[in-house]
A = this chain, B = another copy of it.
Amino acid sequence: MATTLDRPSSDNAIFAAMEPHDSGNFANNNTPLIRNCWYAAARTHEIDRTPLARKFLGVDVVLYRTEGGEPVAMRNRCPHRSFPLARGTLVGDRLVCGYHGMEFGADGACAHLPAMGHAPATASVRTFPIVDRGPLAWIWMGAPDLANEALIPDTHWLSDPAWGTVSGDFHILCDYVSMHENLIDQTHFPFLHPDTVGTPEYARSKLTASTENGQVVIRRELRDAPPPGVYGKPANIMHKKVDRTSEARFVSPALHTAYARVAVGDPDPGEPGLYRYNITHVFTPETNNSIHYWWFNSRDYRPGDAAIDRFMLEAHTQAYSEDVEALQWINEVVRTDGEEQFDLSFAPDKPGLMARRIMHRLAMAEAG
């Protein structure tokens, strides 16, 4: 099911172009959060021998690492008197509550209750599956029997030494639905990001949108055009005409990936004919109206080049800061404006609506 969305001649609202009776079936900031999903919890290096408190899907969680190096995630709330376990101390692989000294192993079972001299048989704190994958640890907050590590999304390029990656993070006061819609929607580039990624040629280029196995994919091709500065400058190809293929993909509620492939027909001697860029957006709802966000920009040439790293970090930090600001402004309006609004949508919004419809279905299936 691929649809060409480039410069539609009709101005019918998008609803007419999609399945009938579909309006309203799009996730928004009030939709229950999707729990059966692998979400990023932290950068792996953040999880160490000092307990770290962080909230995911509204639940307080404490993260630490065993002496053997395994990440552990458990509720940040002693099952006895609700003391936040992250305020306790780590002794060997056990987290010791700072109030009454209850000791919990990495499996969450209470191993010792000092006031009793032994461990009560039934006491335990809920743990969450958590797995290191490259630069991030991924956590499963949903039904325990559905946790399947094979479902952790592939981001192998983030730890491939052939790729040079720069990265940053934000805590954003917005909902994860708006963030997904922002990422798969590139029609905002010329307006929100006029100084970085928003070239007019790109906004007008041909686009196809499709759903593939519960993912939403949009693809563009742009032939024989000047490269955008953000890709052309670090590769030193601003004087060339290039063919550019790009993809953006709603992978899961936790992940959006994108790539750009820039082909140079007449590379200078010794230079590549193809430059590849992977962009990885990872985010996890803290609450319905706040997210933890990590971004990664990877390139397949000159890894470790400090000047290129600096350029990429600055350019993307600026662009993503613009998104963060806009999403926070919108979230504040949605939460505080005294009059409800059902947002209008148009044909170019179809990719975002496809993702929001998938999120709505996932959320309703869990709630139902």
Contact = CB atoms under 8 A, between A and B. Distances in A.
Number of copies: 3
A129 interface: no
Interface residues of A, number: 64
Interface string A305-333: 00000000000000000000010011011
Contact of A83 (B8, B13, B329, B339): B329
A84 B83 CA distance: 38
A330 B84 contact: yes
A191 B333 contact: no
Interface in A295-309: none
Contact of A190 (B101, B118, B338): B101
Given A77-B337, A82-B341, A187-B115, A98 B326 contact: yes
Contacts of A101: 188, 190-191
Select the residue from A77, A84, A99, A345 with max chain B CB neighbours within 10 A: A99
A22 interface: no
Interface of A: 7-8, 11, 13, 55, 57-60, 75-77, 79-84, 87, 96-101, 113-123, 178, 181, 185, 187-188, 190-192, 203, 287, 326, 329-330, 332-334, 336-339, 341, 343-349
Closest 9 CB pairs of A and B: A58-B338, A115-B187, A115-B348, A101-B191, A11-B120, A60-B337, A79-B344, A100-B188, A82-B330
